[in-house]
Chain A
Amino acid sequence: MTKKTSSFFNMVSTLFVVTFLSSAALGYVYELTKGPRAAADLAKKNEAIKEVLPEYDNNPLDEKYEITTKDGYKLTCYPAKKDGKLVGTAIETFTNKGFNGIIRLMVGFLPDGTIYDISVIEEKETPGLGNKMEKDKSDFSKQFKGKNPKFFKLKVKKDGGDVDAITAATISSRAFCDAVDRAYKAYMASKKNY
């Protein structure tokens, strides 16, 4: 295939040139796309926050802060304000108890802890079963809207709570509640510190 002999020098120098040129090209494309990639990430975050909060006129991403859960995890909070007053906080939460792995949610809380809305950021649950937690697949996540976890127990009915689980997807439903509960507990604990 080639006219170049496979001498030690040839092999080393060829590999060096190929990898050098490839890294140069990749470095260039990386820099070129850095701006648009960051903008795409930001847009995705903004979408997720807007979905779960009432109207606001600030930029929650600029005022984000972190709170710590009892088991040591850090959750990011995005406060939304209108005319300077806090109208809600979007909290990025997660659970490792999903049927197929991690589930990440964006939960929007009103200042008194009432849940405004929840949207799914990431899940790998079974299609047709666990993935019904997505807003466009079933009304499962809608039952949390307007509920305050102080009175609305964040456990599935089978476990003595108030949440209607997804039929045949108890594990996914439990995991969903776990994530919301994690956000709620951390949020309420952080408010006591202010």
Chain B
Amino acid sequence: MGELNKYNIFTRGLLKENPVFVLLLGMCPTLGVTSSAMNGLGMGLATTFVLVMSNAVISLVKNFIPNKVRIPCFIVIIASFVTIVDLVMAAYFPELHARLGIFIPLIVVNCIVLARAEAFASHHSILPSIIDGLGMGLGFALAVTILGAVRELLGNGSIFGIKFISGDGILVFVLAPGAFIVLGYLIAIVNKINRIR
């Protein structure tokens, strides 16, 4: 498996243990929000912020929380940071906020966040926890941005809003079935890459 140093903790979230393509966590926003590259990127960065902050705080207070109430406490902490993201987005990025809509509050139940809190932050000190949050968050952001970019390119003929063709692309890719199709292929590709390395 290799030793668990700070470099590994960060990079494993990007590829080898990518939360979307390998751990298959956070499927709901991954499928629901990636109809365009910009949406994916916005969601990815918002989730990364929540991951880093909640990992940090939970790692700081882990010794003060009795075991039996750890999950409710984690959820309250995570939900607080998600609400902060929601308020700040509504105030300073209203267009992105309108496009992500209900998926912003849903970051609370994004499995990745609770999973990292439970599996890592509650057993490690603050710096490794922050690095883990950063790695997993950026891995997630990378995954959903790539997924969004592919879907936008095939389904709308544009990338980050810059159109290459006039009219519509292959519309199925901006609809639900297209999300599953592209995700499936990307999972296959990433797992193949991981096997080769």
Interface presence of A6 (CB below 8 A): yes
Bound CA span A9–B63, Å: 16
Contacting residue for B123 out of A1, A4, A41, CB 8 A: A1
Interface presence of A10 (CB below 8 A): yes
> Which B56-78 residues have C-beta < 8 A from chain A?
61-70, 72-73, 76-77
Query: By the criterion CB–CB under 8 Å, are A15 and B64 in contact?
Result: no
| Chain A interface (Cβ < 8 Å from any Cβ of B) | 1-7, 10-11, 14-15, 18-19, 22, 25-26, 29-30, 33, 35-37, 40-41, 43-44, 126-128
Contacting residue for A11 out of B63, B68, B79, B84, CB 8 A: B68
Interface presence of B182 (CB below 8 A): no
Contacting residue for A37 out of B69, B90, B168, B171, CB 8 A: B90
Q: Which residue of B is nearest A40, CB measured?
A: B94
Interface presence of B25 (CB below 8 A): no
| Known contacts A1-B122, A5-B66, A25-B80; A15 and B90 CB within 8 A of each other | no
Q: Which residue of A is nearest B175, CB measured?
A: A127
Q: Chain B residues near A11 (CB, 8 Å)?
A: 66, 68-69
Q: Chain A residues near B69 (CB, 8 Å)?
A: 6, 11, 14-15
Query: By the criterion CB–CB under 8 Å, are A22 and B80 in contact?
Result: yes
Q: Chain B residues near A128 (CB, 8 Å)?
A: 168, 171, 174
Query: By the criterion CB–CB under 8 Å, are A37 and B83 in contact?
Result: no
Query: By the criterion CB–CB under 8 Å, are A4 and B65 in contact?
Result: yes
Q: Chain A residues near B61 (CB, 8 Å)?
A: 18
The size bracket of the interface on B is 20 to 34
Interface presence of B164 (CB below 8 A): no
> Which B160-197 residues have C-beta < 8 A from chain A?
168, 171, 174-175
Bound CA span A126–B176, Å: 11
Q: Chain B residues near A22 (CB, 8 Å)?
A: 76-77, 79-80
Min Cβ gap B167→A in Å is 9
Q: Chain B residues near A33 (CB, 8 Å)?
A: 87-88, 90-91
Query: By the criterion CB–CB under 8 Å, are A4 and B90 in contact?
Result: no
Bound CA span A6–B66, Å: 5
Q: Chain B residues near A3 (CB, 8 Å)?
A: 63
Bound CA span A1–B117, Å: 12
Contacting residue for B88 out of A29, A41, A127, CB 8 A: A29
Min Cβ gap A8→B in Å is 10
> Which B67-118 residues have C-beta < 8 A from chain A?
67-70, 72-73, 76-77, 79-80, 83-84, 87-88, 90-92, 94, 98
Query: By the criterion CB–CB under 8 Å, are A36 and B67 in contact?
Result: no
Contacts A4-B66, A4-B67, A37-B87 known; 20 new A-B pairs at CB < 8 A: A1-B122, A2-B62, A2-B66, A3-B63, A4-B63, A11-B66, A14-B65, A15-B72, A15-B73, A18-B76, A22-B76, A22-B77, A30-B87, A33-B87, A37-B91, A44-B98, A127-B155, A127-B174, A127-B175, A128-B174
Query: By the criterion CB–CB under 8 Å, are B80 and A6 in contact?
Result: no
Bound CA span A179–B62, Å: 54
Query: By the criterion CB–CB under 8 Å, are A127 and B171 in contact?
Result: yes
Q: Which residue of A is nearest B87, CB measured?
A: A33
Q: Chain B residues near A30 (CB, 8 Å)?
A: 87
